A and B are shown apart, each in its own frame.
Chain A
Amino acid sequence: DTAVSQTPKYLVTQMGNDKSIKCEQNLGHDTMYWYKQDSKKFLKIMFSYNNKELIINETVPNRFSPKSPDKAHLNLHINSLELGDSAVYFCASSQEPGGNSPLHFGNGTRLTVT
């Protein structure tokens, strides 16, 4: 039933670990995104994929690597986690890129690095 679903909802881990967040959408959309929301609620785009191809890659450390095995999935792997990576990560999807269709967001994954 859920349109954009992310797992896990909460992730608590120690510095230096590697972790993954998974995202799936059942809306039949072609484009998927990862956004990061910091403690002040500021949202910033990280990556975007269209039909499994990377189309947006903002200034994000190489420790972050997105992977899109198919149009319905976009996972985010993070290596060597740092304290500053603590945030809420939102997955989103849209029918197409180009600003003509709205984004649908998942409920977020709250990552806490200790």
Chain B
Amino acid sequence: LAKTTQPISMDSYEGQEVNITCSHNNIATNDYITWYQQFPSQGPRFIIQGYKTKVTNEVASLFIPADRKSSTLSLPRVSLSDTAVYYCLVGDNTGGFKTIFGAGTRLFVKA
């Protein structure tokens, strides 16, 4: 399983765009990149998944460069309710991989 590195914490203000970058230098050909969000006292929930280039949904965008050694989760116009821990995961989406979560990035959104 590819190891991931992401910032421990980030601060932002309401209305700003937030970009959280994750490094995964040892990503394998079959690996997908997945992001989860965890609010206090809740289990994580899936945000977005991608393999290459750009993926966008109603919550976020995921940018993956051609070498796939990093990825950036982009949250447009954050609000106070986006304060959470964001986890980046890398794994084989085709072989029943066990999902390993790192320490994640704690995002604090201020008014």
**A and B found bound together:** no
Residues of A bordering B, CB below 8 Å: none
